[in-house]
Copies of this chain bind each other. A is one copy, B any other.
């Protein structure tokens, strides 16, 4: 069972995939075709990347006729923010501990 953070980080690790996600963040909902134009890779590759992003909970799709529109999933980045905050928190708390120690040593 791949931990939840795994898919998240792994999804964003690939440059092509991250670029697609960034574009969706910047410009909002896009069809596969529109995304393919700027992706620099073939349409099937874009579709595969989108499937991975979707499975990671980063994007969602909406079907309309023969078009599929992708957009950023609400709260997509929340786990990333949480993880980062947690790690930064650990770091900070140890820093505080050191500060306390130094303060007590100072007395």
Q: Which residues of A contact B (CB under 8 A)?
A: 2-3, 5-6, 9-10, 12-13, 15, 18, 21-22, 25-26, 28, 72, 77, 80-81, 84, 87-88, 90-91, 94
Contact = CB atoms under 8 A, between A and B. Distances in A.
Given A84-B77, A84-B84, A91-B72, A18 B25 contact: no
19 contacts: A2-B15, A3-B15, A5-B18, A6-B13, A6-B15, A9-B13, A9-B18, A10-B13, A13-B13, A21-B87, A22-B87, A25-B90, A25-B91, A28-B94, A77-B84, A77-B87, A80-B84, A81-B88, A84-B84
B77 A88 contact: yes
How many copies the complex holds: the figure is 2
Contacts of A2: 15
Summarize A's interface: helix, strand, loop or mixed.
helix
Given A3-B15, A15-B3, A87 B25 contact: yes
A81 to B, nearest CB: 6
